Structure 1
Amino acid sequence: MSAASVTAVVVTYNSAGYITRLLDGLSESRALTKIVVLDNASSDDSVAVIKARPDFGRLTLIESSENLGFGAAVNKAVEAESRSSEFVAVINPDVQLEEGVIDRLLGRFSVPELAAVGVQLTRTDGTPVSSARYFPSRASMLRRVAHEVEPEDAYREVDWICGAFMLWRTTAFVQLGGFSSRYFLYYEDVDICKAAWDAGWRVAIDGSERAIHDQGHGATTSSYLRTVNRQSRRRYAARWLGASGVLASVTADGIELLGTLLRKARLRS
Structure 2
Amino acid sequence: MIHVAIISHGHEQLLIDSRLGGLLDERTHLKIWIKDNKPAATLKTFCEQHQVFYTDADAGLGFGENNNYLFKLIEAQSGFEVDDFFLVMNPDITVTPETVFALTEKMRTSGHAIATLNLYRDQAMQVPDKNIRHFPGMLSIMKMPLVNTFSETYDKDRIAAATDAIAVEWASGAFLAFEPALYRALGGFDPSYFMYFEDVDICYRARLYHQQAVYYYPHLKAIHTAAHKNRNIFSQHARWFFHSFSKFLLRRYLRLSPAYSGKSTPDTRN
Q: Do they superpose with TM above 0.5?
A: yes
Q: Is the 8 A contact 2:115 2:178 kept in 1?
A: yes
Matched, 1:92 2:102: no
User: Residues of 1 paired with 2:25 and 2:46: CA distance?
Assistant: 18
Q: Deviations over 1:174-216 (max 9, x none)?
A: 1110000120111000000000011222211111111111113
Instruction: Could you tell me which runs of 5 or more consecutive residues in structure 1 were left unpaired when the two chains were aligned.
Output: 244-269
**Among residues 248, 254, 261, which one is paired with 1:236 in the alignment?**
248
In the TM superposition, 1:64-103 aligns within 5 A as 64-82=57-75, 83-85=79-81, 86-103=84-101
Give % identity: 23
Moved more, 130-139 or 62-71: 62-71
Shift, 1:238, TM fit: 1.7
User: Residues of 2 paired with 1:150 and 1:60: CA distance?
Assistant: 38
Matched, 1:226 2:238: yes
Q: Is the 8 A contact 1:132 1:149 kept in 2?
A: yes
Q: Which has the larger radius of gyration?
A: 1
Q: Which secondary structure does the structure 2 equivalent of 1:26 belong to?
A: coil
1:147 is matched with 152
In the TM superposition, 1:240-255 aligns within 5 A as 240-242=252-254
In the TM superposition, 1:189-204 aligns within 5 A as 189-198=199-208, 199-204=210-215
Matched, 1:181 2:181: no
Query: In the alignment, residue 16 of structure 1 is paired with which amino acid?
Result: E
User: Residues of 2 paired with 1:138 and 1:219: CA distance?
Assistant: 23
Matched, 1:106 2:111: no
Q: Is the 8 A contact 1:94 1:213 kept in 2?
A: yes
User: Residues of 1 paired with 2:252 and 2:57: CA distance?
Assistant: 31
User: Residues of 2 paired with 1:14 and 1:119: CA distance?
Assistant: 25
Query: In the alignment, residue 191 of structure 1 is paired with which amino acid?
Result: D
Q: How many residues in Structure 1 have an aligned counterpart in Structure 2?
A: 233
User: Residues of 1 paired with 2:140 and 2:240: CA distance?
Assistant: 19
Q: Is the 8 A contact 2:229 2:237 kept in 1?
A: no
1:168 is matched with 178
Question: CA distance change for structure 1 residues 6 and 99 in 2, over 3 Å: closer, same or farther?
Answer: closer
What is the CA RMSD across the aligned residues, in angstroms? 2.2
Query: In the alignment, residue 236 of structure 2 is paired with which amino acid?
Result: Y
Q: Is the 8 A contact 2:230 2:237 kept in 1?
A: no
Q: Deviations over 1:201-241 (max 9, x none)?
A: 2211111111111113x768451101110010011112112
Task: Compute the TM-score of the two structures, normalised by the length of structure 2.
Answer: 0.79
User: Residues of 2 paired with 1:120 and 1:31: CA distance?
Assistant: 25
Shift, 1:65, TM fit: 3.9
1:257 is matched with none
Task: Compute the TM-score of the two structures, normalised by the length of structure 1.
Answer: 0.79
Query: In the alignment, residue 100 of structure 1 is paired with which amino acid?
Result: E
